[in-house]
Structure 1
């Protein structure tokens, strides 16, 4: 059984990581936060050991440590774990700027650092790889990645108002949510650099310092066009929001709406439903995949280098609308 630690449990994803760890059969052996009362409350609520310092977490020698928290505090925590040689999951946003991420990338060379972009565990990705392997996908023409959640007030209700402060969070909906779509576009392009065709942001509805909606159009060297939409403009606080991933290739169209997933293939005239993985369960899929890769000694599905590439592309998008 893998032994895991959760460092920075004041993050709004801490409960999801705990649930995902237990779903994957891991034991959480340490919980810590820079706010002792937050850590103690989380530990008591979930029945996990409470540690008083980062040093104590490191001394527990967990097999995997989830590092999360305020982006202006996470780099020091991540670096301490990296220097101790601990495999980590680096929750985003992990830094206030791309420049602050670069030293962590250098320090982590040769170490296992996974970044939770769990939509990469959605069902269309395995299907894309299977179609590629069978020679049945064809060139990708275009893709659309949309993730629009509820109003920004949700972050204040979650006790993480810093998400709405660009000096801490590093941006708004594009940086926080759009990174999922940016990473997806980069993955489709095989990691090739993407050109920004256009970018636009809006912040009219709620008067926040960060953008509440962003749309970016990208082009790959092979001509593929990808559109990324991210927002805090869905008119509900309920989980789920407006989510849709679409990939259109010469021989296949794949559509993932979270609670439903479908693939159409031209050569055999078939339209098939794939078993969906609801967005709320994708952290479980991510954790199971991450622990499996760690046990096998292989690289994470999304590593810190992938995170850096996505952050740099988002920087360029922001420059387009400056």
Structure 2
């Protein structure tokens, strides 16, 4: 398929590299024309523009990827859906749930498939964890514990992610939505939201840490922490069942080797049987996610990790911000 890409920053470049060999980048746009030109130069015959509307309306583009800053995600995606172009929109898909509601409406009305960039679902350790989970071997879910963080970089407080008008929020909205999405993937819907957000280190008007306590109706819990004061990059996600535990550590690169550890309890209790799987390969979750989306388009299937999943994650984010203001936990 011929692909149009809006947003040629770090994530946009990752998305371009993740197209695979069967698809071609036909047009790109970025408000910084030099970034658009740089990316286009790596793809033969690729047009480049400063105006995103030129990509959305480009006659060759069959699929649109939206990888802009958060403040324009919904606007660009809406225009693409209105032209009946399938869209892969980067998470969180909007700054808040109100911005995403028109997207859901127009996508359903036009019958256009839309995938949100929850690429963590496509990391091999998480894929294998989900396969084990689906067997029922772990028994009933008790709780989930997740940590995700990085240490920022010089000038981080001056970047767009530190501007609430552009980003919509801080670390909770950035890495937090990944942990929320993964928790919903295993636990289902959460009914109660509690926790705390604060800015400990970076001099910026958004939070640099968020602590979440999410509960289902059945009192299953996800205890999550996201941080941009995690001085050594960290990813850890643990799923506790009555019969065992799945623990995912690392995402490759600066987050360390990706690893799944499966702890299987015995009837006699004591030390569990332990199986460790490591994935030292480079991160191909971006390519796997795009291939999955194309398969959904071709077979007329609604993708997992869609706009409704993004809205549910955003509602949890908003509930935690509300709790921060009111001091009271929120029931969804």
Q: Taking structure 1 as reference, are residues 204 and 275 closer, same or farther at Cα in structure 2, changes over 3 Å only?
A: closer
* Partner residue, 1:117: 118
Q: Distance in 2 between matches of 1:246 and 1:285?
A: 23
Please give the secondary structure, in 2, of the residue aligned with 1:217: strand
Between the two proteins, the alignment pairs up a number of residues equal to 310
* 1:134-174 CA-partner distances (Å, limit 9, x unpaired): 33231111111211012264657xxx821110121011000
Deviation at 1:28, TM superposition (A): 1.4
Q: Distance in 2 between matches of 1:6 and 1:56?
A: 7
Which ranges of structure 2 fall in alignment gaps of 5 or more residues?
Answer: 251-257, 326-332
Native 8 Å contact 2:29 2:48 kept in 1: yes
Native 8 Å contact 1:199 1:215 kept in 2: yes
Q: Does 1:108 align with 2:90?
A: no
Native 8 Å contact 2:27 2:58 kept in 1: no
Please give the secondary structure, in 2, of the residue aligned with 1:41: helix
* Partner residue, 2:216: 220
Q: Does 1:250 align with 2:250?
A: no
Deviation at 1:126, TM superposition (A): 3.7
Q: Taking structure 1 as reference, are residues 46 and 233 closer, same or farther at Cα in structure 2, changes over 3 Å only?
A: farther
Q: Distance in 1 between matches of 2:287 and 2:300?
A: 20
* Partner residue, 1:27: 24
* 1:168-223 CA-partner distances (Å, limit 9, x unpaired): 10110001110011111222222x23311x31122121221111111101111122
Native 8 Å contact 1:195 1:219 kept in 2: yes
Deviation at 1:71, TM superposition (A): 2.3
Deviation at 1:15, TM superposition (A): 1.2
TM-score (norm 2): 0.84
Please give the secondary structure, in 2, of the residue aligned with 1:207: coil
Q: Does 1:314 align with 2:311?
A: no
Deviates more, 1:115-124 or 1:43-52: 43-52
Please give the secondary structure, in 2, of the residue aligned with 1:115: strand
TM-score (norm 1): 0.87
Matches within 5 A, 1:1-322: 2-9=1-8, 11-22=9-20, 25-45=22-42, 47=44, 49-52=46-49, 53=51, 54-109=53-108, 110-151=111-152, 153=154, 155=156, 161-190=159-188, 192-196=189-193, 198-235=194-231, 241-258=233-250, 259-266=258-265, 270-276=273-279, 280-322=283-325
Deviation at 1:128, TM superposition (A): 4.6
Deviates more, 1:275-284 or 1:299-308: 275-284
Output the aligned Cα RMSD: 2.4
Q: Taking structure 1 as reference, are residues 273 and 60 closer, same or farther at Cα in structure 2, changes over 3 Å only?
A: farther
Q: Distance in 1 between matches of 2:152 and 2:54?
A: 38
Which ranges of structure 1 fall in alignment gaps of 5 or more residues?
Answer: none
